[in-house]
Structure 1
């Protein structure tokens, strides 16, 4: 990792996964950066306000400045303003968590949600993360909108999530993922029962303005004890109707335009 920009971004991305901070030596060694170089970068990031060093432990951690940038970006994009009422209506009707993801070149990232579960078990995931393509209903449905070679290239780039890391029903090979993708293409929606996490089920459909490339994904997620397979299928019509509503207004937010910037994905 020789590029200064690449090293800086790698540090920020690693710190984003460790809220309590990471020691300098660990950060440098894990990323393959000389410790002296990592120290210089961290010192500069601290001076710029993106990173701080814990006085108690000496570890380095992110400040909220990147969070603020992300939230301001989402606010200015208008995606939350135009989509939130639709998310809220769907969450109210299904009584589960509804999430919105946008296609950003070669991945999909969660940017909005509405919690419909008022009591009992609730699924409250982290936002702003990329969906795992190989073992989520959202990944299955988005890949179903792509050419098979592009889908395989994306899976190869991100890797296959194993059942040991994710849910016990996570597909363990590219071929197994493609079978789920084919099923999602046939139905118009993808489903996952304990594919991403034990005890979690989900259903997702693509947001496709005028039937063109998918610009986002809309999903319903919740505990498997409530979202058994039969119920997932009964939720499909309302989910797809909500996705169509978002597709109809998607031109109001430039965030949805990023789907069309996808480069050549072939190795």
Structure 2
């Protein structure tokens, strides 16, 4: 077997392992071997082998009574360590809190991660009445959120299209009634965002919710993230949208001045050996 063949096989096995972790992480599921085989559409013998390996190295555990597989807390611990390493400095949280107080709505900050955004900080400014509290997720849906549009608008058209196609448009049932569903529509939205300097999403990610966002760009360069305000559409009239966009632009500039995220060159990885799970 050639080195190239070994490398391709190892990539397939790694992808299968991460697909399994992703499957079990969604809803913190506990699944039988047969369920995992069906969901991943893989041979039972192969699934059993890499499940055994994942259990051996501590990523999964199997209930001795039911035989169900579930994730250990190792993934959650690593996630917390990553958030601790990449969260904005405490002084930036002051800016987030200030924006929440001034807008009286939910404020969130997202950071650029590879070909997308991830939420890393928030502050709730609404104290009474309708209070927008979205589901807790790390990944930001790009084409249906103001944060996603604000970031995509900083990219070239080609790069933005590539990112949107890679991330996909999502399922209509999980989005708002105005969610964009075509490349032409998102490009039109990005052009408007570039012209006005901030992004707007009206009932796109969720029904009845409006969000406004701006990119955080230290020294006017590449963005490190976005800051946004979101809340019930009933409270977002035309005048208020303009006022909140002004507050967000100020907050984005303040964050950019204080918080260029630490960026270190990616380590060069070398494969010293390949574990053949098929043996």
TM-score, length of structure 2 as denominator length: 0.83
Match of 2:206 among 181, 197, 204: 197
1:175-194 residue pairs with structure 2 within 5 A?
175-194=184-203
2:183 corresponds to 1:174: yes
Structure 1 pair 242/44, CA: closer, same or farther in 2 (3 Å)? same
For residue 151 of structure 2, what is the aligned residue in structure 1? 142
For residue 272 of structure 2, what is the aligned residue in structure 1? none
CA contact (8 A) 1:202 1:227 kept: no
1:25-44 residue pairs with structure 2 within 5 A?
25-44=34-53
Structure 1 pair 86/197, CA: closer, same or farther in 2 (3 Å)? same
Q: Matched residue pairs, number?
A: 257
TM-score, length of structure 1 as denominator length: 0.86
> 1:104 Cα deviation (Å)?
1.3
Greater C-alpha Rg: 2
CA offsets 1:144-186 (integer angstroms, 9 cap, x no match): 1110011111111112245443110011211111111111111
For residue 265 of structure 1, what is the aligned residue in structure 2? none
2:58 corresponds to 1:23: no
For residue 252 of structure 2, what is the aligned residue in structure 1? 243
For residue 155 of structure 1, what is the aligned residue in structure 2? 164
Question: Which segments of 5 or more consecutive residues in structure 1 lack a partner in the other structure?
Answer: 262-267
3-state DSSP of counterpart to 1:38: helix
Structure 1 pair 230/54, CA: closer, same or farther in 2 (3 Å)? farther
> 1:102 Cα deviation (Å)?
0.6
For residue 277 of structure 2, what is the aligned residue in structure 1? none
For residue 243 of structure 2, what is the aligned residue in structure 1? 234
CA offsets 1:84-118 (integer angstroms, 9 cap, x no match): 22111111211111111111121111111111122
Could you tell me how far apart the structure 2 residues matched to 1:24 and 1:120 are? 47
2:82 corresponds to 1:64: no
Could you tell me how far apart the structure 2 residues matched to 1:119 and 1:64 are? 36
3-state DSSP of counterpart to 2:174: coil
Could you tell me how far apart the structure 2 residues matched to 1:172 and 1:162 are? 10
2:88 corresponds to 1:79: yes
> 1:38 Cα deviation (Å)?
2.0
For residue 216 of structure 2, what is the aligned residue in structure 1? 207
3-state DSSP of counterpart to 1:157: helix
